A and B are shown apart, each in its own frame.
Chain A
Amino acid sequence: MSEAAPLLEVEGLSVTFPSEEGDVHAVRDVSFAVAAGEVLGVVGESGSGKSVSLMAVPRLLPTSARVTGSVRFDGTELVGADQDTLRSLRGADVAVIFQDPMSSLNPVHTVGRQIAEARRAHGKVSKDEAWADAVAALALVDIPQPETRAKQYPHEFSGGMRQRAMIAMAMVNKPRLIIADEPTTALDVTVQAQVLEVLDQVRVESGASMVLVSHDLGVVAGTADRVQVMYGGTIVETGPTEEVFDRPRMPYTVGLLSSLPAVDQLGGRLQPIPGAPPSLVALPAGCSFAPRCPLVEDACREAEPPLETVAGGEAGPAHQTRCRRWPVLADGSTTDLFARGGATGNDIEVSA
């Protein structure tokens, strides 16, 4: 990593939501950084805190959210920042692409008008200039006949085109950081391939950094320089993408990878992770993965382990894990770690 300060620096970030059952600890003490031009992938299952931790950056959270810690974008502190600071950042330096473009686009305005408005919100440009920029942005994301398409309404666009229009809107103010939250999850696989290609292209051309949040390990594998795995509201493993995928040092990551069926080979039996993710209201005292972990020891249940560096860190980004027992994974094969998890992989035994 270069000597320059990272573009985005998150330190000790926690996000808590009040609920009837008690506080929901959606994000717990999360620290990470994104360098200029870098792509960080954030993976995890539902309720892992992956989206909330990124939505805390531009502060796109419900007002009930309690945010503590520090989020610095290009040196400016955003936690506790006033609305003006946040507003001037959102949609300009920091652009967000959501999963569902239909709910982010206004159905009663043309696509071109919405992109032009986003342009005018952050730049002193005339209406004509903004419109020209909107059309150019649509062309950038490979929308055919952008002049005609700009005059159409969101419902006249197909799902893939709408997502490309969202990317166009995100790019129109030349952001330095793109936060893409499950940007292709709602799309069919052939359309997903188109959108990922467009996203890659605009990102490389603009030199923007990107945080890609996805539950799809394949999408992240092909895009991210670094990846961080989230579980129970916190980062449990992080490192260069190939390191984490090829040499996972956290049992949860191993389980996630081995529970996937492969499209390129006929697999044997799938290896599910037994049990269910923890409740974010009542987290276990120690490691949040301990109740499901095949390597668990008494010490794992006592205190949550810190992130420990397993490789790298001096010349390049470190590979870190929140597992006390990672040397076991480094020694042996990780492929059958969850194989003894029982026939159906449930914590409840099958009474045959």
Chain B
Amino acid sequence: MSSAPTGTPAPVTDGAHDGALLQVRDLTTTFPVRSQGVIRRTVGRVQAVTEVSLDVDEGETLGLVGESGCGKSTTGRSVLQLVRPDSGSVRYDGRELVGLSPKEMRPLRRELAMVFQDPFGSLDPRLPVSELIAEPLRIHRVYSDEASLRARVDELLGLVGLKPEHRSRYSHEFSGGQRQRIGIARALAAEPRVIVLDEPVSALDVSVQAGVVNLLEDLQERLGLSYLFIAHDLSVVRHISDRVAVMYLGKVVEVGDAASVYDNPRHPYTRALLSAVPLPDPAAERRRRRSRVVLSGEIPSPADPPSGCRFRTRCPKAQQRCADEVPVLRPSDPVGRHTFACHFPEGDADSAA
């Protein structure tokens, strides 16, 4: 793929302005496909993320939704440089992150944190809670004396709704919801400004999930955090997000204010995705099932994506143009806060662009 010049501002693709705290432009990340056998030569590359542009404002939550394999997690990791993007730009507070060495990246990691899905897998079982939370503080040498460190750990425990007496316990002694609170306390330890949350509540039961979602909202308000909230659960994403980006097979297909995207989806994939969510309301759900647009097939392999629009192989509206021409993000409203990439969008009188 042609390496896009990163110095020139990309065309406004997502309705955000220049001042966003986190600006992602044309981010592309590929993984090698290796041959079978001993040598394991690289025989091709899978485009996990293709030319993704996103903005996250200060104090804002951008939801990133899509189904498995759509590249949403890889996008989150590429933003934090946990995987190296092939091309594109990630500017945090005016600084370019793409191309920084791990050493150059280290001081910035204080400000850019991550919360993972699995509260079991991401917490070292051999460390007590106090050490789990203190670890990032030690790495960044935030405190020179143990007393201050200890006080900060207790403060963080309180912030996420745990008690100081929990400090000497181990992660396996906690329930799933409490473990996720520990993961959040760890992420908050070094006072980040941006947190990438990768499916943070997916492993939790709904009654517990609600508490963690509320906690994240409280913390954001209290600490002015910016969230990139990655999840497959469309209801949770709608609830927590100011703006939402929908991904399909490595590309952003629609982005805009949460209410606008959910109530007036323009991309046929967004519409199908929303219509597939079962509602916990028997009468409404039975009605929906009758009118549901059930997509055929499943997400194609990102190693060999369809030409043109990547969704066309499952799209009920696909035409020849969709195979020939890659649709670019274009505005749905005059101010361009809601954009979508489709030649024949939903909600157009004649479907003619």
A residues with CB within 8 A of B: 45-46, 158-161, 188-194, 196-197, 215-219, 221-222, 241-242, 245-246, 255-257, 259-264, 266-267, 269-274, 276-277, 343-346, 348-352
Contact = CB atoms under 8 A, between A and B. Distances in A.
| Most A C-beta atoms less than 10 A away, residue of B159, B239, B286 | B239
| Most A C-beta atoms less than 10 A away, residue of B238, B278, B285 | B278
Interface stretch (B12-20, B78-86, B206-214, B337-345): B206-214
Given A189-B234, A344-B218, A273 B207 contact: yes
A197 to B, nearest CB: 6
Contact of B163 (A190, A219, A273, A348): A348
Nearest to B69: A188
A189 B218 contact: no
B33 interface: no
How many of chain B's residues touch chain A, expressed as a range? Answer: 35 or more
| Most B C-beta atoms less than 10 A away, residue of A159, A194, A221 | A221
A344 B159 CA distance: 10
Contact of A218 (B161, B278, B283): B278
Interface in B227-281: 232, 234-236, 238-240, 258-259, 262, 272-281
B200 interface: no
B294 interface: yes
B172 interface: no
A270 B214 contact: yes
B68 to A, nearest CB: 6
B273 A189 contact: yes
B262 A344 contact: no
B161 to A, nearest CB: 4
A160 B298 CA distance: 8
Interface in B265-312: 272-283, 285-286, 288-289, 292, 294-296, 298-299
Contacts, number: 158
A45 B218 CA distance: 25
Interface string B141-158: 000000000000000001
Given A245-B282, A263-B279, A188 B214 contact: no
B67 interface: yes
A256 B282 contact: no
A350 B158 CA distance: 6
A256 B209 CA distance: 11
B205 to A, nearest CB: 4
18 contacts: A188-B232, A189-B232, A190-B67, A190-B272, A190-B294, A193-B294, A218-B277, A218-B279, A246-B282, A246-B283, A259-B209, A260-B235, A270-B211, A270-B213, A272-B210, A272-B214, A273-B208, A345-B214
B162 interface: yes
Given A261-B213, A269-B214, A350-B158, A221 B285 contact: yes
Interface of B: 67-68, 158-159, 161-163, 175, 177, 205-211, 213-215, 217-218, 232, 234-236, 238-240, 258-259, 262, 272-283, 285-286, 288-289, 292, 294-296, 298-299
A60 B286 CA distance: 32
Contacts of A245: 280-282
Interface SS majority for chain B? helix
A241 B277 CA distance: 18
Contact of A261 (B207, B235, B294): B235
B239 A221 contact: no
A46 B238 contact: no
Given A215-B206, A273-B207, A346 B161 contact: yes
A129 B322 CA distance: 44
A263 B67 contact: no
A270 B279 contact: no
A344 B214 contact: yes
Given A188-B67, A189-B234, A348-B163, A221 B213 contact: no
Contacts of B235: 260-263
Contact of A348 (B161, B234, B278, B283): B161
Sort A-B residue pairs by CB-CB distance and give the 5 closest, nearest first: A218-B278, A272-B210, A261-B239, A222-B285, A272-B211
A190 B277 CA distance: 8
Given A196-B278, A271-B210, A344-B214, 17 more contacts: A188-B298, A190-B273, A191-B298, A192-B276, A194-B295, A217-B206, A219-B278, A221-B281, A222-B289, A245-B280, A259-B206, A261-B240, A263-B279, A273-B207, A273-B210, A345-B210, A346-B215
